[in-house]
Amino acid sequence: MRQFYIYLTLIYIPIMGTALTDFALGIWILDINQTSKSIKIFTMIWFCQIAPSAFFGPIIGSYIDRYDKKKIIIIGLIISGLCCSILMLLYHHNSLGVLSIYSLVSCTGLANAFIYRAFYVSIPVLVKLRLLIKAHGVLGIFTSINQMVIPILAPVMYKVIGIDMVFIITLLISSITLLIFSTNGFINVPKSKKVSSILDDVRYVLKYTFKNYDYLIMLLFFSVLTFFIGLVEILFTPLILDFSNEYFLGISLFCGGIGGFLGGLLTSRRRKISRPLSTSVNAAIGIALLLIVSLIKVNIYILSFGAFMIFFLFAIISVLRNIFIQTIIPVESLGRVSSLWSSFITIAFPLSFLIAGLITEYILSYSKDLLQIFEEYYPGSDLTTSIILIMALSGFILLILTLYYRFGKKFEHLDKVFASSTFLEI
């Protein structure tokens, strides 16, 4: 596992640097333009960060299956560093506009997608099958550390040293990582033996997916869950800032990161998992109930606890999903299949970011009578009320879906497929 830890650290350092820049840009937008329009811009920044990996997943997977993983990572680091440099120069010359932010954040998101996916398909080679649970638990822990550190660092660094210094720090992180990867080797990951076009790869993955109808049921479940998690994640920042400040925002998101950290840690310590998908459904029911109870009362402490529990449960779900995928898919096809599956699931993230801003703006503009009912019930302005209503409605819809999967036993067959692949009994 030593190699896994080293490469995981090297991969996540520049990804955290990019997240630091994007979060600081979002705070900057909210700071200079405190209107409903700024909420839309804020959500669009996150949309641009995640959308490339979702929409171009099949292309990313095809290239990763064909080419050297180390070269892909190095090229991705170079592109990410160049984008950060351009952002810094535009800001320095007071020319950093909305369109330039959208385009450069999208480019960085695409580069990071190649970097992460190249590492992701290498995990089954870096660790033995029996250690996949531990490896993905650790991966979840790193994701949670990202969620803990960035929300605290970005607002504080933005206030103390300014966004221009955030650009410089991100650029240094990317440069150091690039130097280390360029001067060291990387493990040999099997490439696809068959050279085919991207269209052929898409056909291959679709055929692989449709041969088992249960795969589609699984992808739909995780996609809908991801959509509602995305709504909560993107609206959490403007929700807190509407009735509090950047420092309490950092504390609340830190609690969410702690939850994710503990969720990943708990899962990584399991020696075996026999029902990954059924367990995911049970965890999703818990998330739905937490969103619904947000209607009862809202303050910084309740939201911090809610963030802790939601990210705790979602971290467990993410680890279980990745373990399932990497167990049942052959290594030589993992890039193509996992990328298209991941695109189907994660495309819900950018869509939720895009829709969140539009729904919030619509409620603020056309639902004044509804908002007046809750005028004295929640803190902050009408924005807080709008976001709470969106979260509660998301919880109700998610609860109906998860109960359908739970009592319909939709994942019973796939859990048996997983068990047979890992020589376990259900």
Question: How confident is the model over 282-296, as pLDDT tens digits?
Answer: 999 999 999 999 888
| Residue 162 backbone dihedrals phi, psi, to 5 degrees | 90, 155
- Alpha-carbon distance of 317 to 228, in angstroms, equals 14
Q: Which ranges constitute the DSSP H helices of 131-210?
A: 132-160, 163-182, 198-210
- Helix pair angle (213-243, 246-268), 10° resolution: 150
Q: Are 349 and 73 in contact (CB under 8 A)?
A: no
pTM: 0.70
Q: Which two tokens stand for residue 211?
A: 């041969």
What pLDDT was estimated at residue 189?
55
> Closest Cα to residue 178, out of 105, 254, 79?
79
Place of tokens 């660092």: 153
Question: How confident is the model over 407-425, as pLDDT tens digits?
Answer: 888 788 888 878 776 544 4
Question: How confident is the model over 249-299, as pLDDT tens digits?
Answer: 778 877 887 888 788 778 777 767 778 888 899 999 999 999 999 888 888
Q: Which CATH architecture is the domain 2-184+198-421 placed in?
A: Up-down Bundle (1.20)
Q: Are 158 and 299 in contact (CB under 8 A)?
A: no
What pLDDT was estimated at residue 193?
52
Element (H, E) at 51: helix 36-55
Count Cβ atoms within 10 A of the Cβ of residue 286 and give its class: 0-12 exposed, 13-18 middle, 19 or more buried: middle
289 versus 6: which is more confidently predicted? 289
pLDDT band at 232 (very low <50, low <70, confident <90, very high): confident
- Alpha-carbon distance of 390 to 232, in angstroms, equals 9
Residue 188 DSSP one-character state: -
First to last CA, the chain: 28
Q: Which two tokens stand for residue 79?
A: 């592109």
User: What is the 3 state secondary structure string of 267-333?
Assistant: HHCCCCCCCHHHHHHHHHHHHHHHHHHHHCCCCHHHHHHHHHHHHHHHHHHHHHHHHHHHHHCCHHH
Each domain of the chain, given as residue ranges in start order, spans 2-184+198-421
Task: Provide the residue count of the chain.
Answer: 426
